[in-house]
Amino acid sequence: MVATLARLKLALLRNSLKRDVWRIVAMAFGALYGLGLLLLLAVGLFALGSVEPPWRETIVVLGGSAIVLGWAIVPLLAFGVDDTLDPQRFSLFTTPSRAFAVGLLVAGAVSVPGAITVLVAFGPALAWRDAPLAALAALVCAPLGALACLLGARLTTSSLAGALRGRRGRDMVGIVSVLLILAVSLLPATLQSWGLPAAGDWLPALANVLAWTPLGAPWAVPADVAAGAWGLAGLRTLVLLAWLGAGLALWRRLLGHVMTTVGSDQRATRSRTGRLPLAEALTRRGVPSRAAAVAGRSVRYWRSDPRYLTSAASLLVMPVVAVVVAFAISSSDESGIDAADALGWVALAAAPIIAWFGGWTMHNDVAYDSTAFWLHVSSGLDGRSDRLGRTLGASVWMVPLVVLVAIAGPASTGRGEMVPAVLGASLGLLGCGLGVAAVCSAVLVYPVPPPGANPMSSQSGDVGATIAGQLLSSVGTIVAAVPTLLALLPALLVSPTWGWLTLVVGLASACGAIVVGVRWGGSLLDRREVTILTSMSSWRKR
């Protein structure tokens, strides 16, 4: 069973590469990138062999724990678990069993991330090259460490499968994952900036705690062997095997639940009114009724669709992340950067970054409609109304957010004279991004998670279109914003008074880009709407 599932995963991977040349290119780049990281890691671990054993153990345990934790969390947040061998697809052919559960775990290693992780698991042997028995123990524990990674990914996604079917559950999982990764990544610098004990005081203690968990136990056993603590090494090995045994038992139990549970959400759905208050308000203010209806529906998506909420949450978190990073950088003695200066530059850059990313998120907006886009086609909705409605729907909340950050950021750091420049640059980038997105989403769409799916999951499809769409929208936004960026330079290099010129040019660029984008994108959509609908209908609806 195990070998059969591994061969099946390999065959599916090989067939997917045959269908799409760009997928081969993307996989090749991913493999080269992974091998490069693997080479750097090997060199680092080899050099680590000359470090004192206590610190060697601390670094290896913390690094290994981060890898295992990453496998458990990142699939929920970034790309989703590879569901090529989704257990539900086997529900008609087999029953949950130990062999089937282990086979799915092993098949999870048949991928670029899985293969790289397995190779990395053998890396600690290089760090213990001066202790042959410890190096041998590292080689023996490597498969256990790799198993912990694969098992962690399966346990988190399977245990949260029920929650991920509901909108509230998906939202909560995404928020918790973002906060957890942010907290873990910024914890060391934050503690140091608060004047808490230096890393040398608390990292070994943290590693000692992790060494008794499935996160760090596979990487701590070689250190015990090197120190001659055979009893401790044996005890830690038993603890590790107990953790893995319990994890496998839980995975087998969850596997039975996953294979016998219908994929859709079974909870009762609350009735919802068909009124769109925003559409009515826009219509009263002279916006064409068709465009107002699209805008109202778009705002409803931004409030309720987990895929849109994920993007919105990213924009809202950006200012917080920027401030924390500024304090972390300035707290380093080697950086030579004053905290006030770092925070000041972050305050100036936060709003333009949010504006650029906000406009960029709309470049594939049509794809999120999935086959529901047929309503636009069958009702005869003109392309300009569609483009204008989507732009207004995003602007309703993006413009106030950008304006708030553009004003509050410089003002809170004592650089209020830069508000016009920052505001102009931000609105210019946002408007140019929305205008470019209005054209891009009418020219090129690529697969996204379908309605009701985990917003963090990955979708198979045209990799070439994905790369082209993201690159085209990014470059297009920068090109369209060139006048705004040029007008920003005098405000930064000469005098903040020039910021009023930036504000005027930014507003003009934003309005011009949106007008051109709505008209041009609308004309393109009128000609290509059937082609776009046909393309979206061919995507996998999982």
Which phi and psi angles does 415 have, rounded to 5°?
-120, 50
Q: Please give the structure tokens belonging to residue 292.
A: 């107002």
d(CA 141, CA 121): 8
Using the predicted structure, report yes or no on whether residue 185 has a pLDDT greater than 80: no
Reduced to 3 states (helix: H, G, I; strand: E, B; else coil), residue 256 is: helix
For residue 394, pLDDT beyond 80: yes
pLDDT at 186: 55
What is the total residue count of the chain?
A: 542
Nearest CA to 426 out of 364, 349, 521 is that of 349
Of 448, 435, 440, nearest to 468 by C-alpha is: 440
Residues 319, 374: Cα–Cα separation, whole Å: 38
Q: Is the pLDDT of residue 74 over 90?
A: no
Residue 400's pLDDT is: 93
Per-residue pLDDT at 332: 52
Of the pLDDT bands very low, low, confident and very high (cuts 50, 70, 90), residue 275 is low
Amino acid identity of residue 434, one-letter, is L
What CA–CA distance (Å, rounded) separates 398 from 407? Answer: 14
Q: Report residue 250: phi and psi, to 5°.
A: -65, -40
**What is the DSSP track for 365-388?**
GGGGGGGGGHHHHHTT--HHHHHH
Cα angle, residue 114 at apex, residues 75 and 214 outer, rounded to 5°: 70
CA distance 430 to 438: 12
pLDDT at 327: 61
Q: What is the pLDDT of residues 301-354, one digit of tens each?
A: 888 777 787 788 778 777 766 666 666 555 555 545 565 666 777 788 889 999
Alpha helices in 413-481 (DSSP H): 419-443, 463-480
Q: What is the mean pLDDT of the chain?
A: 80
What token pair was written down for 254? 């969850």
- The pLDDT of residue 180: 62
What stretch of H or E contains 393?
Answer: helix 383-412
Residue 355 has a pLDDT of: 93
Would you state the torsion angle of the CA atoms of residues 53, 56, 62, 64, taken in this order, to the nearest 10 degrees? -110
What's the angle, vertex CA 295, arms to CA 291 and CA 298, rounded to 5?
A: 140
Q: What pLDDT is stored for residue 391 in this prediction? A: 94
Does residue 144 register a pLDDT over 60?
yes
Q: What is the pLDDT of residues 218-251, one digit of tens each?
A: 999 999 898 888 989 899 899 989 999 998 888 8
Question: Helix or strand or coil: residue 109?
Answer: coil
Please give the DSSP secondary-structure letter assigned to residue 198.
Answer: P
What's phi and psi for 85, nearest 5 deg?
-105, 60
Average pLDDT of the segment spanning 268-285? 65
Binned at pLDDT 50, 70 and 90, residue 264 comes out as very low
| Cβ count near 418 (within 10 Å) | 22
Tokens at 283, concatenated: 């219509």
Q: What is the DSSP letter of 78?
A: I
pLDDT confidence band for 191 (50 / 70 / 90): low
Cα–Cα distance between 517 and 532 in angstroms, integer? 18
In percent, how much of the chain has pLDDT > 70? 80
pLDDT digits (tens, 9 = 90+) for 192-210: 555 545 555 677 888 889 9
From residue 94, alpha-carbon distances to 91, 97, 98, 255 in Å are 6, 9, 12, 12
How much is the pLDDT for 266?
42
Q: What are 447-471's pLDDT values in tens digits?
A: 887 776 655 555 555 666 777 888 8
pLDDT bracket for residue 26 (50, 70, 90): confident
What is the pTM (predicted TM-score) of this model?
0.62
Distances (CA, A) of 142 to 50, 136, 176, 235, 243: 21, 10, 30, 17, 15
Residue 15 buriedness (CB in 10 A; 0-12 / 13-18 / 19+): exposed
Q: Rounded to the nearest 5°, which phi and psi values hold at 487?
A: -70, -20
Residue closest to 530 by CA, chosen among 390, 383, 384: 383
- pLDDT above 90 coverage of the chain, percent: 25
Neighbours of 67 (CB within 10 A): 19
